[in-house]
Chain A
Amino acid sequence: MPEIFGVPVPVLYGQLLLGLVNGSFYALLSLGLSLIFGLLNIVNFAHGTMYMLGAFLAYFLLQPLGLGYWWAVVLVPIMAAGLGIGIERTILRRIYKLDHIYGLLVTFALTMIIEGLVRVWFGVSGLRYAVPDSLSGMVDLGFMKLPIYRAWVIVAALGLCLLTWAVIERTRLGAILRAGTENPALVKAFGVNVPLLVTLVFGWGVALAAFAGVLAAPLMQLTPQIGHSIIITVFGVVVIGGMGSILGSIVTGLGLGLLEGLTKVYYPEASSTVIFVVMILVLLVRPHGLFGKQ
């Protein structure tokens, strides 16, 4: 069997594919984070919590309410967006003019509160959300057997990422949004309701995170801390890609997922640090990130 640095090629392909699955999550989450930072100037530490909440809402829809996976795919992002809009209107709106650190503190506090509530309600032993029947089973790719659900994750996450990118970069609405962040006063003068746009963007960002949570729900035991174990990595991804850069988030998310996958094969001990090593290197060479402007 051919090998690359002592690892059989089929095993390596398998690991790269899994890296791509994780990369899809990073892309989806960092995209929302980047969007919120780019348009609202808020470092949203609660993003991981929204991801966690997405997974728990899916569970909640299934358990007492009997609504299955496909309902969750549709309803959870809407519910989360509603929550996000509520948070933006009541809390975040008051701190736009203040330093970034206040946004960080407020959203960190939200993280602690929401996580605490979920912990009280559901405990820490972990809950199980089954893979939907329509997506269970495996496909044999020759070099590995891939669970169909993981293939769906790649398709769904990347599809939504590209949709978001297209809306922001290729439509009139996106153009107004981008103009609104450059110069809100001028855009308001043209009669555009900028605060409403900002609210909607925050809602959309939160919906993306919650959607990622629904996608992740069948892949792991649901515990209240799934959010903060991923959010730190995602912050690394956003910093590497360049804060506020949409395409940067998507490309960097996938690339770092692959890199992490490789690390898990060759030196697993470093798999949780490799992204931060890259982050340091990138910051040394390009302080605004790979795709950042300025």
Chain B
Amino acid sequence: MRKFKGCACALLACTALTAPAFAQDNEIHIALMTDLAGATADYGGQGAIEAVKMAVEDFGGELNGKPIKIDFIDHQNKPDIAVTKAREAYDSGTDMIINLSNSAAALGVIEIAKAKDKVVIVTGAGSDKITGEACSTNAIHFAFNSYSLANSPVQALAASGDTSWFLIVSDFAYGLSVEAAVTDAIATAGGTLTGTVKHPAFMASDFSSYALQAISSGAQVIGLSNSSSDTTNSIRALKEFGIGGDQKMVAFTLLINEIHGLGLEQASGLLFADAFYWDRTEASRDWSKRFYDRVGRMPNMVNAGDYSGTLHYLRAVEAAGTDDAAAVLAKMHEMPVNDVFAENGRVREDNMMVHDMYLVQVKTPEESKYDWDYLNVLETIPAEKAFLPLEQSKCPLVKKG
């Protein structure tokens, strides 16, 4: 009997947890959808949860006298799960979904948001399609995209005379998007691409073969168009097989957590573009230390983007006086983004939130003076230069002429 009671209680608890919260006007309901515990959890996970919570707390926790609700949804890196869960979330009253690490998942959810006329803010994925061919009035791309990560390192190296490239590319949506952006950037900078090798995404743990091909290509720069563990394993393999003094290595997508995992001996000298570095200004340091106290590590650009995106959305809802998607999106376009993540950021016609990016280089172990003192900010890349010029946009929302 006691067993039965236990089961009944558990069942009741389940129904209580899954009961749909019916849409009530002007009650704000946000969902963080990301990889909560899988291979790309650095782009989401605990950091994203705390960043969104911090944004809601800093906003005051409520709007129009009603508490702001946050749901945390794990898409497990599977686009089909992401799409199903997004549909469920929007149907049960969610106004806005944020993060969407994994480009394939993001592109799927954007379609759902369009069909349901709700808001989606992409911070965790970087495919250029999000504000290119697949752009949508309902989807705003917030933190970074492949173009912004690819363009500035290529140009900076071209300026110092390094123009021949070999690329190690992860064979999935994001890796290919970075590859396309880098190839364009190399062509623009007058460089040459001597070769490319594609590897299966997140399935290969041995990168020695690719490293050897890259090193023996003789190219001046080896570019890593991949992400997460694929990037860190590529770096290790290149170091292990003795990448020479005359060859440089660029990781286009590198988070500070990954530098922490690699260690400065392995990572030092790496050049890349970043949207956020915790130790850059007084404001970023203060915010990052608060984040550190909650998560136990410093925030990366996606975490800061989640915070900023959530805050910008809430401010737009407040200014619009309604949670109606069209009105809120109009306000998000109208209002500049000024916070710890972006200075004078703005949402452009193609729905890219453009902001300054930073060209950074990983410090040597000797240069690093305290915990998480990992990066030298070499250059601030102004928003207009960091993102694809609107004239070249493939987004149908951009009016040409």
Residues of A bordering B, CB below 8 Å: 11, 14-15, 18-19, 21-22, 116, 119-120, 123-128, 131, 138, 144-145, 147, 150, 216, 219-221, 223, 225-226, 229-230, 261, 264-265, 268-269, 271-272
Contacts and interface: CB of A to CB of B under 8 A. Distances in A.
Contacts of A138: 242
15 contacts: A11-B212, A124-B39, A124-B229, A125-B257, A127-B261, A128-B262, A128-B266, A147-B240, A221-B232, A223-B39, A223-B229, A225-B202, A264-B209, A265-B209, A269-B198
A14 B212 contact: yes
A119 B262 CA distance: 17
B80 interface: no
A268 B37 contact: no
Interface of B: 37-42, 45, 171, 197-200, 202-206, 208-210, 212-213, 216, 228-229, 232-233, 236, 240-242, 255, 257-258, 260-263, 266
Given A11-B216, A144-B212, A220-B233, A272 B206 contact: no
Contact of A126 (B197, B200, B229): B229
Contacts, number: 105
Given A124-B38, A225-B229, A220 B206 contact: yes
A223 B232 CA distance: 11
B216 A126 contact: no
A123 B47 CA distance: 11
B171 A269 contact: yes
Contacts of B208: 18, 21, 150, 219
Given A128-B266, A145-B242, A271-B199, A220 B236 contact: yes
Contact of B263 (A11, A19, A128, A220): A128
Contacts of A123: 41, 257
A14 B210 CA distance: 11
A144 B41 CA distance: 37
Contact of B198 (A11, A21, A147, A268): A268
Contacts of B210: 264, 268
A229 B197 contact: no
Contact of B37 (A22, A116, A145): A116
Contact of B42 (A125, A144, A219, A272): A125
Contacts of B216: 11, 14
A229 B204 contact: yes
B242 A221 contact: no
Nearest to A233: B203
B61 to A, nearest CB: 28
Contacts of A264: 197, 209-210, 213
A125 B205 contact: no
Closest 8 CB pairs of A and B: A272-B200, A125-B261, A126-B261, A264-B209, A125-B257, A221-B232, A124-B41, A18-B208
Contacts of B236: 128, 219-221
Nearest to B258: A125
Contacts of A15: 209, 212-213
Contacts of A226: 205
A126 to B, nearest CB: 4
Contacts of B38: 124, 225
